[in-house]
Amino acid sequence: MDSTTATELWDRVVGSQPAPDLWLVILTAAIALGAVVPWNVWRITRNAVTIAHEGGHALVALLSGRRLDGIRLHSDTSGLTVSRGRPTGLGMILTAAAGYTAPSLLGLAGAGLLAAGHITALLWGAAVLLAAMLVMIRNAYGMLTVVLTGAAFVLVSWLAGPQVQAAFAYGVVWFLLLGGVRPPFELQRKRRRGGAADSDADQLARLTSVPAAAWLLLFHVVTLCSLAAGARWLLGV
């Protein structure tokens, strides 16, 4: 790649692109909602939320000074991130709290990028994050899902036209914002039935002596507020 091509590529990534028509923004929201609400669809699309969930655990673990041992993603849409460090303290608390909030916060960050017109930057940034996550995946199913997800971002950002890129980017962000809301409600339902005794909320309760219900409330507040703020940015209202 010569310097001219590299410069053009860099300008394309960091530059801004025109916002799509409002009808396209609303259409992508409707498609994302259709990928979240029906159970038969959600049981498949939830894998993408699990990637963001476990990625949130991993990123915060590294930022808080913990040593990341690996990430596993399973076909039942569950996941596991293993890190080493102090079993208590702020770093462990932040790591445990990051999972359920990560998809929505990523969606909110993505909405901010799209509102600023950085569609290509979002696509390339997501591909880079997925590539970094792939290094820490420790099972075959996890590698397959991350590779396929990353490949979708690369192909769209490299080969698709501006309209398709915009539709894909807006669809992904809407999905993270909407999909991030559902898992805390699912966890709440499981805990009401006596399940999920080792959930993130219960681990946080043991780490902090703050009831698991309070942590679950925090998850709800973060995800719903992220959806509200992100929707306003995406719709330009």
Distance in angstroms (rounded) separating the CA atoms of residues 229 and 127: 24
Per residue in 88-146, pLDDT (tens digit) is 999 999 999 999 999 999 999 999 999 999 999 999 999 999 999 999 999 999 999 99
117 found inside a domain: yes
12 found inside a domain: no
User: What own/partner pairs with CB < 8 Å and gap ≥ 24 does 218-224 have?
Assistant: 218/97, 218/101, 219/100, 219/101, 219/184, 219/187, 220/184, 220/185, 222/100, 222/101, 222/104, 222/105, 223/100, 223/101, 223/103, 223/104, 223/180, 223/181, 223/184, 224/181
222 found inside a domain: yes
10 found inside a domain: no
- pTM of the full predicted structure? 0.93
pLDDT value of residue 7:
65
User: Which domain does 128 fall in, by range?
Assistant: 19-235
Token pair of 107 as six digits: 């969606």
8 found inside a domain: no
6 found inside a domain: no
Q: How many residues does the chain have?
A: 237
1 found inside a domain: no
Q: What is the mean pLDDT of residues 184-194?
A: 93
Report whether pLDDT(8) > 70: no
Total domains present in the chain: 1
82 found inside a domain: yes
Q: What is the mean pLDDT of residues 19-27?
A: 94
- Mean pLDDT, the chain, integer: 93
